[in-house]
């Protein structure tokens, strides 16, 4: 069994000068997988030789630094909270703590989506276009129509707005991480996200019949 301590010795600390927030960015670095664990069908976690972890859960994924996996705060359903220090996980199987961190980041993304979009959900396809769809997509025709609509919305956003929204809502990145990567303040990163949401909402309001048609098209 490889422990988390063993893995951290084997993998270098990720470069502080560049923050990788998305799967595509990570793969483009040419980094290779050091170790990978398939938890169950559709859920897997991989550690790369540049110090980053990729957690994938179905269509959701998030990227974060291995060496930042230290303390962990656990909140139970009954409201009870427990704090685990870094030493607690060091001699456990390597993927235990990164798995918990990845699951939390994906869940945070889901909460953000639900809090900002009551009847739609946001995900990102490999071609870097938004894919906004109804919660139940009955057929491929409707999926194509939704993707067509979101390509139109994507064209309304500038490069930084697209990057910030994708990283925040789809990759589980924090506003602080986005700000660091774009070399702007956290307040500016928050502004990018909020401005992008305003543009999306305005599109929905200006084109309600088009949105309804694309959501209900059979």
Tens digits of residue pLDDT in 144-201 = 555 566 667 777 888 888 888 878 877 778 888 888 888 888 888 888 888 888 887 7
Q: Select the more confidently predicted residue: 21 or 135.
A: 21
Distance, CA of 212 to CA of 148 (rounded, Å): 14
Q: What is the pTM of this model?
A: 0.59
How does DSSP assign 37-92, residue by residue? Answer: EEEETTEEEEEETTSEEEEEETTEEEEEEGGG---EEEE-TTS-EEEE-HHHHHTS
Does the pLDDT of residue 59 top 60, yes or no? yes
Secondary structure (3-state) at 176: helix
Average pLDDT, the chain: 75
Residue-range definition of the domain harbouring residue 82 = 4-107
**Mean pLDDT, residues 45-51:** 97
> Quick check: helix, strand or coil at residue 22?
coil
Asked if residue 82 and residue 165 are part of one domain, the reply reads no
Together in a domain, 72 and 140: no
Structural domain tally of the chain? Answer: 2
* Residue that finishes a domain, picked among 80, 107, 134: 107
* C-beta neighbour count of 44 within 10 angstroms: 18
Most confident among 25-39, 65-79, 112-126, 157-171 (mean pLDDT): 25-39
More confident residue, 170 or 29: 29
Domain boundary among 92, 107, 122: 107
């Amino acid at each position: 069994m490889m422990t988390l301590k063993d893995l951290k010795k084997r993998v270098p600390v990720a470069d502080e000068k560049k923050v990788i927030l998305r799967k595509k960015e990570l793969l483009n670095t040419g980094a290779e997988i050091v170790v990978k664990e398939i938890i169950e069908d559709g859920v897997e976690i991989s550690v790369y030789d540049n110090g980053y972890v990729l957690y994938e859960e179905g269509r959701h994924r998030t990227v974060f630094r291995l060496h930042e996996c230290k303390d962990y705060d656990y909140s139970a359903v009954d409201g009870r909270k427990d704090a685990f220090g870094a030493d607690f996980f060091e001699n456990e199987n390597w993927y235990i703590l990164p798995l918990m961190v990845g699951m939390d980041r994906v869940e945070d993304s889901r909460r953000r989506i639900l809090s900002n979009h009551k009847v739609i959900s946001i995900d990102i396809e490999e071609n870097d276009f938004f894919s906004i769809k109804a919660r139940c997509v009955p057929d491929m025709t409707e999926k194509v129509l939704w993707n067509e609509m979101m390509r139109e919305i994507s064209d309304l956003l500038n490069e930084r707005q697209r990057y910030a929204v994708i990283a925040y809502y789809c990759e589980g990145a924090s506003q602080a991480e986005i700000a660091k990567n774009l070399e702007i303040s956290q307040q500016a990163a928050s502004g990018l996200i909020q401005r992008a949401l305003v543009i999306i909402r305005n599109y929905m309001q200006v084109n309600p019949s088009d949105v309804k048609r694309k959501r209900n098209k059979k």
